[in-house]
Amino acid sequence: MTTRFKYNPLTGQFDITNNVDSIPDLDGVGILLEYDCDASTVVNSLAIASDTDSNTIEPVTSNVYNGLVIGIVESKTSITSCNVRIMGLFVYSPAGLSIGKPVFISASGEPTTTRPVTGSIQVIGMALTSTIIHLIPSGNKTTLI
């Protein structure tokens, strides 16, 4: 079972929104949080916390971004509500990750096992298979010149 939480800015705490039993195989492996998001945010987008609203995420569109990647958008419960996997196992499509390698953010803002040579470097996890990321976003980021 996966338990979903949503940040409540009035209390400063996370409230349980629901329990879901329908995610096959990887269900319950990790932490899934519900955030507000823009209608254009799509599933599989890497997510950063908004600078202006603590309950809102923004999609990463390149490896030059402010803040730190906090997770990956796993699903949307409405047009402006995103479930973000912030830790645990995530099935990423399309395949192409190198097994056993660290996962970075590519120049186009997607997960990759190829270390960037420009932009920012942040390890967001480890590739367990060509499609499964053990998601553990690093709290450190290096910006290359």
Q: How far is C-alpha 25 from the geometric centre of its chain's CA atoms? A: 19
E runs forming strands in the chain: 2-8, 13-20, 30-36, 46-49, 57-59, 69-78, 81-91, 102-105, 111-112, 120-121, 125-127, 132-135, 142-143
- In tens, the pLDDT along 64-79 reads 888 889 999 999 999 9
Count the residues in the chain: 145
Q: Which amino acid does the sequence have at 72?
A: I
pLDDT at 21: 45
- Alpha-carbon span 71 to 68, nearest angstrom: 9
pTM over 0.85: no
Extents of the domains making up the chain? 2-87, 102-143
State the DSSP code for 136: -
For residues 36 and 55, the answer to whether their CB atoms sit within 8 Å is yes
pLDDT at 18: 61
Q: Which residues of the chain have pLDDT under 50?
A: 1, 20-24
For residues 69 and 116, the answer to whether their CB atoms sit within 8 Å is no
